[in-house]
Chains A and B, each alone.
Chain A
Amino acid sequence: MPDLLEVKNVTRKFGGVVANKGVSFSFESGKVIGLIGPNGAGKSTLFNMVSAIFPPTEGEIWFAGKRIDRLPAFKVSPLGIARTFQNLQVFKRMTVLENVMVGLHTSTSSGILSAAFKLPKAKKEEETIYQQAWEEIEFVGLEDVAAVEAGSLPLGKLRLLELARALATKPQLLLLDEIAAGLNHQETAEMSDLIFKVRDRGVSIFVVEHDMDLVMRVSDRIIVLDQGEKIAEGTPNEVQNDPRVIEAYLGNDEEKEEATV
């Protein structure tokens, strides 16, 4: 049985900036894996490569036995990878429900002509999309705003919406890029409960998070990046006591504050 995700010696450069440098790790399915590191450590860059938004400059990424680092982004969703975005990427001018329905795009297949002529297949699929989207809306608890245009929602609801939309693609691996950023205490607590609920559905989760309480609570294992390089990997306990990790965080005053919240 191959690992679910395998990142092999991945480097990513943006001009002169080396955002990821020789990063390697792998994990099996059924786990919650945390990815932490100070601002600019290269966490989002790594997520962007795993979700095929852009390719690595060097190295390979394998998912469930398939090499994915050269695929166009739209091809990784059907393989079973879904994500949320640190800088929210909701479809603002669509309703909450419609946003989630886009997540069901690849589980249906009727084309533009069968849509135009409302062929039976298109109608049946539309019904399925609608039902399943509602299930995800209920899962994250957005029923009361389902008919509201997404652009008018507050941040907390938008984070839930991104989660529901990603879940609608029925992923094997879910990438959460700072899903709790900007949430208040209670919302953060609810989010970590939701993460457990998602894991109980059998979805493996890869989570980038600055909220240390949250990430230590939900993760089975944690990978630490600093200035593009992997500096540590282990259980939450091991990582917290790793001198290199402590130094990476203490070396950056801003991060120190955030890390001790």
Chain B
Amino acid sequence: MKRKGIQQMSWKGIAAFTVLILILPFLLSTSLMITKATFAGIYTIVAVGLGLLMGFAGQISLGQAAFYGVGAYSTAILTATFGLSPWLSLLIAIAAPALIAYILGHTMARLHGYYLAMATLAFGIVIHVLLVEWKGFTKGASGFYGIPKIEFFGFTFTQGISYYYLVWAFALLVIVLSLNIIHSRIGRALRSIHDSEVASSSMGVDTGRYKMQVFIISAMFAGIAGWLFAHMSYSISPGSFGLDGSILFLTMVVLGGSTSVWGAVFGALLITAISSFVQALGSKISFITSDFEHVLYGLILMLVVIFLPQGLFPAIAAKLKPLLEYAGRKKKAGNITAVKGDQRA
């Protein structure tokens, strides 16, 4: 049903994005590029969750890569060491980060101020140490080998086009679920907290509870991404799940903009593209190393915070809006209900 006066999910936007995702592999010339595009999907899943947390619960997590790592290692160990089916271990890869998030959030009673940033930072460090030191389970710094592939009715998803579609199917699901949340009573409650916490609690919104729920959801999404990452590669190592990773996810969200789901998606895609480009340059120019990449992310983070605190996506959407509206008006003259107040979507 079409409703006037509220933001609704734009199925057109999702359809257009899905088409783009479907045809992208045909435009990419090398298998390396397909792999990068697959990673973009995995990162999108983490970034969308972190975007919900930052843009809608007003909290920062510096430990998102650790949730991602918990998801990846729990499925790796359960499938390779204990022979569980990857589909069953998916449940654990979602539940384990969710439980940790619940405990982290709960010990703080209400998520306030910088506590969550600090707690997740510490948590990220603990997880990284555990992954390196708990060799009996994780095989330590050299990495965990022998992770089985995901199968579906006899079909095996191997790195390449099939895995790309698997990852993006999950990413699209995560995007749709997140959009649904934002356009629900919970989403409105969360947005209202941002504008006036005192008014929303006077309307009966239990602000602490919803911040907590979003934190848990963001950890679950990271867990799904970890699961996808683990079964894509034959091996994983602690290096992918450290503070660098958490800051990379943060950069994606800040760059794209956290006030809309699409901002996080856009940020994840853009950062993956930049990273691929820099790595390609690195193979030709000797001073461009992975340290250079980190400096570059730091620089991006700084520039965006200073010049575009809302992130790129809202800025671009605001520029495009008059164009789209103009086109829309020409198409269905006289219909003015399409005018919306906000670029969040």
Residues of A within 8 A of B (CB): 51, 53, 72-78, 82-83, 85, 89-99, 101-106, 108, 110-112, 115-118, 122, 125-127, 129-130, 146-149, 152, 165, 169
Contact = CB atoms under 8 A, between A and B. Distances in A.
B206 A74 contact: yes
Interface stretch (B125-133, B187-195, B325-333): B187-195
B203 A90 contact: no
B341 A111 contact: no
6 tightest Cβ-Cβ pairs between the two chains A and B: A149-B341, A77-B204, A115-B184, A106-B204, A97-B5, A89-B199
B319 interface: no
Contact of A115 (B185, B201, B204): B185
Main secondary structure of the interface of B (DSSP, over half): helix
A111 B186 contact: yes
A47 to B, nearest CB: 10
B205 interface: yes
Nearest to B217: A112
A91 B196 contact: yes
Contact of B180 (A94, A102, A118): A118
A89 B184 contact: no
Given A89-B199, A95-B6, A101-B6, A115 B339 contact: no
A37 B3 CA distance: 45
A161 B133 CA distance: 58
B341 A105 contact: no
B279 interface: no
Given A85-B199, A91-B195, A110 B204 contact: no
Given A77-B204, A146-B4, 4 more contacts: A82-B203, A95-B341, A103-B203, A108-B185
A93 B7 CA distance: 11
B59 to A, nearest CB: 15
Contacts of A95: 5-7, 340-342
Given A91-B196, A101-B6, A116 B181 contact: yes
Contacts of B205: 74, 102, 105
Contacts of A125: 185
Interface string B160-190: 0000000000000000011011001111110
Contacts of A92: 195
Contacts of A118: 180
Contacts of B196: 89-91
B29 interface: no
B57 to A, nearest CB: 11
A200 B187 CA distance: 33
B188 A98 contact: yes
Interface residues on B, range: 35 or more
Contacts, number: 137
22 contacts: A74-B206, A82-B202, A82-B203, A89-B198, A90-B195, A90-B196, A90-B199, A91-B191, A92-B195, A93-B342, A96-B5, A102-B189, A102-B203, A104-B185, A108-B185, A110-B184, A112-B210, A112-B213, A116-B181, A117-B177, A118-B180, A147-B4
B283 interface: no
A82 B219 CA distance: 35
Contact of A122 (B4, B178, B184, B189): B184
Nearest to B196: A89
Nearest to B259: A93
A174 B334 CA distance: 41
Contact of A116 (B180, B191, B207, B340): B180
Nearest to A73: B201
Nearest to B195: A91
Given A53-B198, A53-B202, A125-B185, A130 B3 contact: yes
Contact of B188 (A76, A101, A106, A111): A101
Given A83-B202, A106-B204, A147 B185 contact: no
B188 A94 contact: yes
A106 B184 CA distance: 13
A130 B6 contact: yes
B198 A73 contact: yes
Select the residue from B185, B210, B339, B341 with max chain A CB neighbours within 10 A.
B185
B283 to A, nearest CB: 42
A74, A103, A104, A122: most-surrounded residue (chain B CB, <10 A): A74
B107 interface: no
Interface string B5-29: 1110000000000000000000000
B292 to A, nearest CB: 38
Contacts of A152: 341
Contacts of A122: 184-185
A129 B178 CA distance: 20
Nearest to B214: A112
Interface string B199-243: 111111111001001100100000000000000000000000000
B337 interface: yes
Contacts of B1: 127
Contact of A147 (B180, B181, B184, B339): B339
